Structure 1
Amino acid sequence: MSAGPIHALPIHAFLAGSGRDGAGRRLADILAFDDARIEGVHDFIQWCFPLPEASRAVPGAPVLTAAEAAAIRADPAAREGLRAALARMRRFYAGTDGWLRPHDHNHLRITRILAAVRDLASPEEAAEFHAFVAGRNAASGAPVNPGSLRYWQAALSGG
């Protein structure tokens, strides 16, 4: 009996559900995090929303290569994993308010999410998430600093 496809590239395997992150967790483990763990654990976001730049926040976090990005885009299971992670983060940002302040580490996470979703799923899905977080910010009296808002907008356009 096969355990499913073997994915040789680590981020691709993680998003497709057949691999583990640097801490040994599967994507399903992270999707099951409660909001306190989403807030308090800082080494999962780079696996769920990989970028071609090294993380300054988490040394040793994976860096997305062009080959791995292409493999993720071509694999429905990996794209579905990315979308599941996006849905979990949307629930987190819908159900918590701690990030709705002038400066918060979640602003960097949102920038990462927008860039990764734009590049690996679609610009439309990134724009939907942007509209959601921007709407939450506006409904809360616009506490997020203008610099973060500019980064979010730039992430949509790849700038």
Structure 2
Amino acid sequence: MNNVLLLTGKPRTGKSTAIRKTIEWIGPNKCGGFYTEEIRDDVDRIGFRCVTVAGESIEVAHIDSTSPLRVGRYGVMIEPFEQIAIRSVQQSLQHGQVTVIDEIGPMQMLSAPFRELVERLIADPPHIVLGTVCLDAHPVIDKIKNGPGVTVYHLEEHNRDTVPGLLANEIAKRLR
């Protein structure tokens, strides 16, 4: 049985929302790791925040960031991302929780320690991993999506309300 369950889909189809709903159904006490939230102004998305399942959060990308690391229009702040994301994933593994990783994308792949951690988890998942991956081609992310023990679910507008229940059921089977 595959222990790595990953969601993919176009931007803004609801991947992070589906992850949060799945966490609610599984039970937040059974999950660790992190998910991503948009930072918005009155009109548009202007950045991203990394939020641990335990509730800690930090801004990790913003259009006004002076960071030289850019993905699209966003300046990516690697150090804050690494501090919160890597620690939350490691704590989840230590506690034997479902490990949530939202997202495995181009911004996150700028962090070598994070990339190495994810590659190790995918190569030999000691626990259940629930995450999201970008839809677009990316050499490292494509390798992750095609890793052994990985099941990729494609999220679209027509199935985004049912996928969290499907994921929660799949995870419940693995927790037994």
Judge same fold: TM > 0.5, yes or no. no
- Write 1 or 2 for the structure with the bigger share of strand: 2
Q: Please classify the TM superposition score into its range, dividing by the shorter chain length.
A: 0.3 to 0.5
More helix per residue: 1 or 2?
Answer: 1
User: What TM-score, normalized to structure 1?
Assistant: 0.35
Query: TM-score under structure 2 normalisation?
Result: 0.33
Q: RCO higher in 1 or 2 (8 Å CA, sep ≥ 6)? A: 2
